[in-house]
Amino acid sequence: MTRQLENEFKFLVDADTFHYVLEEYDCIDKVRQTNYYFDTKDFILTQDNITLRCREIEGVIYLQFKIKQSGNSMYVSSIEMSKKINFLPMHIKNSFLIKQFDNVPKKYNGLLFEKIGLLVTERYSIIIKGIIIYLDKNYYNGQIDYEIEIEFTTNTLPYAIDVIDTLQLKDKKSNYGKKKRLLRSINYRTRERKEN
């Protein structure tokens, strides 16, 4: 199991900005990943700022448990735990989750987390000023969006801020992560079907 503190800036951009940055800088890596999100029917994990997902990259599946910590208005901090598993589950029992990770809150005892949706990402990695930048083209529920993620540590924060200035991203901060955008699209689609 891996465990890390993740600090990241997230920006939603338009397709033109995304492609401009991708053409302007050399891509060092490209992967296609599928995130399968899990929660209870009443979305208890979402309410607690927790993400439970299985991430599949080139046939390898990782069970991931991400607990959002405090951040500020510009960036998000999370504790992310990840473990390679041999299968993609249809649902996840809390008892299974507890065996994989040590920080699962006890209040979830006995709960069953069901698959609530999936999001596919084409992730391009570039380096600007010594920092790896992720350019994500996301597909979910018939929608496409473009996101730039900048992960940083305390030591690299000044460089990350410099990259934000270089790419002119300050006004493009994303208020919602991938999971919340997926959930908003599901809620929108549900309302749309009810109205028709």
pLDDT reported for residue 71: 62
Question: Between the CA of residue 152 and those of 22, 38, 116, 146, 180, what are the distances in Å?
Answer: 20, 27, 30, 20, 22
Q: Is the pLDDT of residue 163 over 70?
A: yes
Rounded average pLDDT over 13-41: 97
User: Model confidence at 191, in pLDDT bands (50, 70, 90)?
Assistant: very low
3-state secondary structure of 86: coil
pLDDT reported for residue 102: 86
Q: Is the pLDDT of residue 194 over 90?
A: no
d(C-alpha 75, C-alpha 7), whole Å: 7
User: Model confidence at 103, in pLDDT bands (50, 70, 90)?
Assistant: confident
SS (HEC) of 115-140: EEEEEEEEEEEEEECCEEEEEEEEEE
- Percent of all residues in the chain with a pLDDT value above 90, rounded to a whole number: 86
DSSP 102: S
Rounded average pLDDT over 70-92: 90
